[in-house]
C-alpha cells in the first residue's frame, strides 16, 4: 500500500557536496498498518509457526547442542550477506585454533556475530532493556575483531555515511545526518518497548528492522545488527525462550528483493509489502528450523544404532566419541581424550570405527595433528551456506 515517503529529506553537506539525507518519521506508522486478507493470514500462520518452534526447543534431547549449531549457521549467513567468504567449516576450525587456509578476517567477523548475540541475550536475561545502549553494546561485540576495529565499535556514527555509489552525490541512499541519529534511535527504542499500541510482535520486529536499517546508526555492521535485533526482540518478548529463529538464509536467497523492499518502504511507504515478505520469511525460517531439528535428532539416533550394531562390545568408546562430535562436530584426538576421558589409543580406535562407518571423516590429510569431522551432521548444517561470492551491499 503506497502512502508516500516514510521520512523527510534533510539537506546536508559532505566534503563540500550537498546532498539530501533521509530522516525517517518515528514509529508506529501513521496511518497505521492495514493487516487484512492474505497479510493477516500469513501473520497468523507465522506466529503459530514461531510458537511451534519454541515448543520444539523445549523437547529437544540436548537443547544446547542445537543452539550451538543454529547460532553459528545464522552468524555465517548474516555475515555472508555483507560479503564474507568463509564457510561453516572455517568457523568451526577457527574456534579450534586450527585455521589452514581459513580467511582470517572473514571468520573473525562470523565468530564475533556469535559473541554479539550471546552478549545481547545475556544482558536481556539480566533484566537490561532492549535499548539504544544495548544495541550499541551488541555492535561493540560485533566489531570487536576483524575489519571493524577502526569503525567505532559500540558508538553511533559521528559522520555522514551512505549506501551504494562512490560518494554521497551518486549514492543509492543517504541515511540521516549523524546529528539526527541519537534522537532517531531514542524514538526506535520507545517503539521497541511499547506494549499498548496493539502492534503484533512480528510486525513490530519487521518495522523496527527497516527503521534501524534506514537510520544506519553505525559506520559498519548495520545490517548484522539489524538482523540480530530481530532475534533479541523475539526473545525479550518471551515468544522464543531460545534464539532458534533466524532469517538470514531467507534474506540471502532473496537478497535483491530484500533491498528493493527496504527502499520501497522509504520511497513509497509500502510497509505492507515489506511485512508480507518478512512474515513469509519468518514462516519459512520457523518451519525450516523445526525440520532441521527433527532431521538432526533422527540422524543422531540412526548413527547411534549403526554404531551399536557394528561395534558390539566396543560400542561404549565409539558412542562416547559420537556424543563428543555431536556437541562439537570437528575435533582432534587429543581434544576427544579430554572430552570423553578415554585414553589416546581408545579414542583413536573409536574414531577409526566411525570413519569406517562414514560417520566421521579426516579433514587434513596429515599423518599427525589430524582433525575429524562428523561429516553427515556438518552436511545438514552447511545447506544454504555456500558463499555468495559477489560482494556485498
pLDDT score, position 203: 97
The answer to whether residue 26 sits within a structural domain is no
User: Do residues 247 and 230 make contact, with C-beta atoms less than 8 angstroms apart?
Assistant: yes
User: Do residues 202 and 46 make contact, with C-beta atoms less than 8 angstroms apart?
Assistant: yes
Pairing of the two strands 17-24 and 7-14: antiparallel
Per DSSP, the three-state class of 331 is strand
Per DSSP, the three-state class of 366 is coil
Identify the domain boundary among 269, 303, 331: 269
The answer to whether residue 211 sits within a structural domain is yes
What is the Cα–Cα distance from 204 to 28, expressed in whole angstroms?
8
Give the model confidence (pLDDT) of 134-172 as tens digits: 999 999 999 987 666 778 999 999 999 999 888 888 999
The answer to whether residue 257 sits within a structural domain is yes
> Cα 217 vs. chain centroid, distance in angstroms?
19
Q: Residues 141, 68: one domain?
A: yes
Confidence of residue 392 (pLDDT cuts 50, 70, 90): very low
pLDDT score, position 321: 97
What is the Cα–Cα distance from 220 to 69, expressed in whole angstroms?
26
The conformation of residue 358, written as its DSSP 8-state character, comes to: T
pLDDT score, position 389: 53
Q: Residues 235, 323: one domain?
A: no
Q: Residues 259, 302: one domain?
A: no
Q: Residues 299, 260: one domain?
A: no
Q: Residues 260, 306: one domain?
A: no
Q: Residues 245, 298: one domain?
A: no
What is the Cα–Cα distance from 77 to 165, expressed in whole angstroms?
24
What range does the domain containing 251 cover?
61-269
Give the model confidence (pLDDT) of 273-289 as tens digits: 999 999 999 999 999 98
Q: Residues 221, 302: one domain?
A: no
CATH classification at residue 374: 1.10.10.10
What is the Cα–Cα distance from 243 to 232, expressed in whole angstroms?
8
What φ, ψ does residue 11 adopt, rounded to 5°? -65, 130
Q: What's the mean pLDDT in 14-19?
A: 84
The answer to whether residue 46 sits within a structural domain is no
With CA atoms as reference, report the closest residue to 203 among 146, 144, 126, 276: 276
What is the Cα–Cα distance from 19 to 162, expressed in whole angstroms?
10
The answer to whether residue 322 sits within a structural domain is yes
Q: Is the dihedral of CA 333, 336, 338, 340 positive or negative?
A: negative
Cell of 181: 541519529
What is the Cα–Cα distance from 83 to 379, expressed in whole angstroms?
22
CATH classification at residue 88: 1.10.3290.10
Cell of 212: 534501524
The answer to whether residue 92 sits within a structural domain is yes
Q: Residues 246, 306: one domain?
A: no
**Residues contacting residue 240 through CB under 8 Å, at least 6 positions apart:** 50, 53, 54, 57, 231, 234
Per DSSP, the three-state class of 328 is coil
Question: E strands of the chain, at which residues?
Answer: 7-14, 17-24, 330-332, 360-362, 371-374
Q: Residues 328, 252: one domain?
A: no
- Please give the radius of gyration of the chain, using alpha carbons only, rounded to the nearest integer: 23
User: Do residues 344 and 296 make contact, with C-beta atoms less than 8 angstroms apart?
Assistant: no
Say whether pLDDT at 101 is over 60. no
Q: Residues 263, 155: one domain?
A: yes
pLDDT score, position 100: 52
The answer to whether residue 235 sits within a structural domain is yes
The answer to whether residue 50 sits within a structural domain is no
Spell out the SS3 assignment of 125-186: HCCCCCCHHHHHHHHHHHCCCHHHCCCCCCCCCCCCCCECCCCHHHCCECCCCHHHHHHHHH
Give the model confidence (pLDDT) of 330-373 as tens digits: 999 999 999 999 999 999 999 999 999 999 999 888 888 899 99
pLDDT score, position 192: 96
Neighbour-count burial of 178, counting CB atoms closer than 10 A to its CB (0-12 exposed, 13-18 middle, 19+ buried): middle
Per DSSP, the three-state class of 371 is strand
Q: Which residue has the higher pLDDT, 99 or 356?
A: 356
Q: Residues 233, 307: one domain?
A: no
Say whether pLDDT at 11 is over 60. yes
What is the Cα–Cα distance from 163 to 298, expressed in whole angstroms?
45
Q: Residues 298, 264: one domain?
A: no
The number of domains in the chain is 2
Amino acid at each position: 500500500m503506497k502512502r508516500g515517503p516514510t521520512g523527510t529529506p534533510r539537506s546536508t553537506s559532505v566534503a563540500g557536496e550537498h546532498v539530501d539525507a533521509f530522516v525517517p518519521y518515528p514509529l508506529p506508522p501513521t496511518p497505521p498498518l492495514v493487516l487484512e486478507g492474505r497479510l493477516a493470514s500469513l501473520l497468523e500462520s507465522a506466529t503459530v509457526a514461531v510458537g511451534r518452534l519454541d515448543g520444539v526447543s523445549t523437547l529437544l534431547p540436548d537443547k544446547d547442542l542445537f543452539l550451538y549449531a543454529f547460532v553459528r549457521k545464522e552468524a555465517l549467513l548474516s555475515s555472508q550477506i555483507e560479503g564474507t567468504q568463509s564457510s561453516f567449516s572455517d568457523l568451526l576450525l577457527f574456534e579450534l585454533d586450527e585455521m589452514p587456509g581459513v580467511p582470517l578476517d572473514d571468520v573473525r567477523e562470523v565468530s564475533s556475530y556469535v559473541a554479539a548475540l550471546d552478549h545481547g541475550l545475556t544482558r536481556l536475561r539480566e533484566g537490561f532493556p532492549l535499548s539504544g545502549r544495548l544495541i550499541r553494546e551488541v555492535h561493540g561485540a560485533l566489531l570487536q575483531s576483524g575489519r571493524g576495529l577502526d569503525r567505532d565499535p559500540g558508538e553511533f556514527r559521528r559522520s555522514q555515511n551512505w549506501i551504494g555509489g562512490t560518494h554521497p552525490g551518486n549514492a543509492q541512499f543517504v541515511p540521516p545526518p549523524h546529528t539526527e541519529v541519537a534522537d532517531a534511535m531514542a524514538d526506535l527504542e520507545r517503539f521497541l518497548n511499547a506494549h499498548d499500541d496493539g502492534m503484533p510482535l512480528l510486525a513490530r520486529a519487521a518495522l523496527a528492522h527497516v527503521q534501524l536499517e534506514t537510520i544506519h546508526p553505525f559506520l559498519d555492521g548495520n545490517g548484522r545488527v539489524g538482523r540480530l535485533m530481530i532475534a533479541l526482540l523475539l526473545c525479550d518478548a518471551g515468544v522464543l525462550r531460545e534464539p532458534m529463529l533466524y532469517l538470514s538464509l531467507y534474506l540471502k536467497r532473496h537478497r535483491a528483493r530484500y533491498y528493493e523492499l527496504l527502499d520501497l518502504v522509504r520511497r513509497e511507504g509500502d510497509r505492507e509489502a515489506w511485512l508480507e515478505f518478512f512474515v513469509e520469511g519468518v514462516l519459512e525460517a520457523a518451519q525450516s528450523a523445526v525440520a532441521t531439528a527433527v532431521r538432526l535428532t533422527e540422524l543422531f539416533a540412526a548413527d547411534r544404532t549403526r554404531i551399536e550394531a557394528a561395534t558390539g562390545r566396543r560400542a561404549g568408546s565409539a558412542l562416547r566419541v559420537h556424543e563428543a562430535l555431536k556437541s562439537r562436530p570437528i575435533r582432534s584426538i587429543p581434544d576427544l581424550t579430554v572430552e570423553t576421558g578415554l585414553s589416546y589409543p581408545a579414542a583413536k580406535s573409536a574414531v577409526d570405527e566411525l570413519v569406517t562407518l562414514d560417520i566421521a571423516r579426516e579433514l587434513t590429510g596429515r599423518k599427525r595433528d589430524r582433525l575429524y569431522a562428523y561429516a553427515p551432521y556438518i552436511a545438514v548444517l552447511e545447506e544454504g551456506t555456500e558463499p555468495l561470492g559477489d560482494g556485498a551491499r
